[in-house]
Structure 1
Amino acid sequence: MKAQVIGGLLAVLVVSACGTAGQSGGGSAGDSGPSGSPSAIGTVEEGFKIGLLLPETKTARYEKFDRVYITDDIKSLCPKCEVIYNNANQDPNLQQQQVDTMLTNGVKVLILDAVDAKAIASSVKKAKDQGAVVLAYDRLAGGPIDGYTSFDNIQVGKMQGEALLEAIKAGGDAKRGPIVMINGSPTDPNAGDFKKGAHSVLDGQVTIGKEYDTPDWSPDQANTQATGAFTALGAANVVGVYSANDGMAGGIAKAMQNSGVKKGTPLTGQDAELAGIQRILLGTQTMTIYKPIKPEAQNAAQMAIALGTGQAVNGTTTVDNGTNKAIPAQIITPIVVTKDNIQDTVVKDGFWTVKEICTPAVEAACKAAGLE
């Protein structure tokens, strides 16, 4: 029965030799088998080593969800596969060292969520030169990667921008005062996509008073940037704040309160972090973006096993990372979360329970929102 399940899951991803194997986006011809498919590294029956490299621990999702889901999914597909895990703690040099160590230890499939997409490219090439395959996870890494799974990141930015614009317009003329934009890390290609998507909605519709890119997605840096912006623009004049994720939104929300920004001023977020959901209920954050991690993790596990067994993977689309073209990608649609649909999104999916959300400090807000 298990073999049937594994075969069925891999069949979704495998491209036959007479199909579009050229989209595998793998390495050079020397790294590939027939029709451009990657050479087989191992078998499901015998198992092989898979390295999982995640970027940081400040964002709650990586340790609580991504690591657990990916590891469990790999074990269900390939019981004898060994998952070797490392977290780079936002240090690109450490992540490069972790790749080297994994390659030395015989890891032949890397699931890589890069701290710095450009800096890691040399490590990706080294992996390929040593016969390994590399799957970019959540962030599109540089170098000759073989596959990619993530969300529609430009759409994430558009959704954030649309929610912010709608909330600002609910209070009057969208240009009645300036907004502040606090974007993500300049070394994360996703941050550039979020920023691009948000600007495509907001440009010409609002007045952008101050805008920052925030190293390492740091909540403390975001707090400092926001405080400086509110001082320069006049806190009472600010009509909205774009925050690229929930972690930074936490630092920004504190700055808004301490600087005297009007209560209820719209503030965006992303990742559906517990604190972000609670701020939405309390009215100090307007929205967040929920990116269902479980299907992303399932994609990663399935693609890793397919690549490890010499199959070319078929994505819902292809992407270009600047050094490799037509990389097969599995892209997932994100979801906007507001006070009105918390129950039907993060709670329904088991991402957070009502008990986790509705702590004593949030209990009254939960009841008012019908979340009990």
Structure 2
Amino acid sequence: MKKHGWRVAAGLLAGVLALTLAGCTEDGGGSENGVTVGLLLPSRAVPRWEQSDKPLIEKRVKELCPECTVMYANAENDAGSQRQQMNSMITRGVSVLLLDVVDPKALRSSVRAADRAGIPVVAYDRLAEGPISGFVSFDGAQVGRLQGEALLEGMGARADGGGVVMMNGDPSSPNAAWYEGGSRSVLQDKVRILKSYTTLGWRAENAHDHMSSAISDLGPNRIDGVLAANDSIASGVISALESARITPLPPVTGQDADLDAVRRIVEGEQHMTVYKPFRKETDAAAAMAVALARGNDLGALVTTTVDSPTTKDVPAVLLNPLPVTRDDIGRTLVRDGVYTIDQICTPKLRPACDRIGLTR
């Protein structure tokens, strides 16, 4: 990704439509002829999509546009399903599409179909290909740099020449390479990257299998740290390390500040996560979607431009992520109302919470 600085036969048809509409649900109270925002999220494997992004976007759209309806679909990490869902929304005549793309190349034709239908597309969190009208995400290179820096800090003296396993994201996601590039820029001159994997679907079970293979190939004593691209991957990595009875656990990174990951950090199993203040991202996305649905320009809402493989100078908002270790939970996630101390500090974790100052 290139950044310009920081601006940087009716029956048959009915049957087809019945199938493609099956994955769509409507939320909100708009009329059939009102403004409809189509929201397409990529999966349920990463908890944030359903638990944070969806409700926050729906809430902010309704605040900005009381007459708007949100039509929602989740692709379950399947590009074919997302293509059907998107084409269904185009057929139903939504006003604008918020697309968190599963596979940019696979969805390119659908983005073009939306453009031909006069429906603007805002790429959400992941940069889509084709004639998109806007993009909002967090700076993926900075996410990777934060992970790499925290991993080195967690490795201590072993950060000088130690051995690291990289557990990267799904290569179908453009963000995976973005994150990896950022982390490698920090790690490449400091440590030895012993193994590097891609994790299909960002799934914990796939990460577990890769980590188990790495332990078998390398032996338990050569792994001084694990760069895990997100918290789901981190959970699979940690499960494999614990199954191999490796103690103490090497530092393991993460991303998304999932509740289970925050609890693992409190317990000392996971070294860090990257918190992306989701409300800022969802607010920006909702504002862009409502503006485009009403036929307005995005100039006052965006801060930069980006280039996709197919489109130059896409108006964009790139937000800053934050690292979270045990010392940062209170002043980031608790302060921002992402989680309460009671949510984080289960009875089992109460002593560990007390030790790091997470008290009511």
1:112, CA displacement in angstroms?
Answer: 0.4
Equivalent AA in structure 2 for residue 174 of structure 1: D
Match of 2:160 in 1: 174
- Of 251, 261, 266 in structure 2, the residue corresponding to residue 276 of structure 1 is 261
Distance 1:116 1:272, change over 3 A: same
Match of 2:122 in 1: 135
Q: Within 5 A, what are the aligned runs for 1:63-82?
A: 63-82=50-69
- Of 173, 193, 199 in structure 1, the residue corresponding to residue 184 of structure 2 is 199
Match of 2:250 in 1: 265
Match of 1:300 in 2: 285
- Measure, in 2, the Cα distance between the counterparts of 1:171 and 1:353: 35
Instruction: Please say if 1:144 is aligned against 2:131.
Output: yes
CA contact (8 A) 1:263 1:284 kept: no
Match of 2:215 in 1: 230
Q: Deviations over 1:171-193 (max 9, x none)?
A: 44521x42100000000001110
Equivalent AA in structure 2 for residue 274 of structure 1: L
Equivalent AA in structure 2 for residue 145 of structure 1: I
Instruction: Please say if 1:215 is aligned against 2:195.
Output: no
CA contact (8 A) 1:238 1:261 kept: no
Q: Deviations over 1:178-215 (max 9, x none)?
A: 21000000000011100000000000210111110111
SS of alignment partner, residue 105 of structure 2 = coil
The TM-score, its normalising length taken from structure 1, stands at: 0.86
1:108, CA displacement in angstroms?
Answer: 2.2
Q: Deviations over 1:195-245 (max 9, x none)?
A: 000000000210111110111111100000001001111112210010000
- Measure, in 2, the Cα distance between the counterparts of 1:367 and 1:310: 52
Match of 1:328 in 2: 315
Q: Within 5 A, what are the aligned runs for 1:250-261?
A: 250-261=235-246
Question: Aligned-pair RMSD on alpha carbons?
Answer: 1.4
Q: Deviations over 1:241-270 (max 9, x none)?
A: 100000110010011111233314111000
Q: Within 5 A, what are the aligned runs for 1:53-72?
A: 53-72=40-59
Equivalent AA in structure 2 for residue 289 of structure 1: V
Distance 1:173 1:126, change over 3 A: closer
Instruction: Please say if 1:109 is aligned against 2:109.
Output: no
1:299, CA displacement in angstroms?
Answer: 0.4
Match of 1:186 in 2: 171
SS of alignment partner, residue 312 of structure 1 = coil
SS of alignment partner, residue 120 of structure 1 = helix
The TM-score, its normalising length taken from structure 2, stands at: 0.88
- Measure, in 2, the Cα distance between the counterparts of 1:80 and 1:278: 40
CA contact (8 A) 2:45 2:201 kept: no
- Measure, in 2, the Cα distance between the counterparts of 1:132 and 1:371: 47
SS of alignment partner, residue 119 of structure 1 = helix
1:361, CA displacement in angstroms?
Answer: 2.3
1:87, CA displacement in angstroms?
Answer: 0.5
Equivalent AA in structure 2 for residue 111 of structure 1: L
Match of 2:15 in 1: none
- Measure, in 2, the Cα distance between the counterparts of 1:135 and 1:261: 45
- Measure, in 1, the Cα distance between the counterparts of 2:306 and 2:136: 10
Give me the identity figure in percent: 45
- Measure, in 2, the Cα distance between the counterparts of 1:173 and 1:63: 36
Instruction: Please say if 1:243 is aligned against 2:266.
Output: no
Q: Within 5 A, what are the aligned runs for 1:30-49?
A: 47-49=34-36
Q: Deviations over 1:127-152 (max 9, x none)?
A: 11111000000000111000000000
CA contact (8 A) 1:186 1:213 kept: yes
- Of 31, 34, 37 in structure 2, the residue corresponding to residue 50 of structure 1 is 37
SS of alignment partner, residue 305 of structure 1 = helix
- Measure, in 2, the Cα distance between the counterparts of 1:211 and 1:341: 29
SS of alignment partner, residue 98 of structure 2 = strand
SS of alignment partner, residue 246 of structure 2 = coil
SS of alignment partner, residue 236 of structure 1 = coil
Moved more, 356-365 or 126-135: 356-365
- Measure, in 2, the Cα distance between the counterparts of 1:248 and 1:203: 21
Match of 2:305 in 1: 318
SS of alignment partner, residue 114 of structure 2 = helix
SS of alignment partner, residue 265 of structure 1 = coil
Displacement over 4 Å in runs of 4+: none
Uncovered stretches (5+) of structure 2, i.e. residues with no partner: 1-6, 8-32
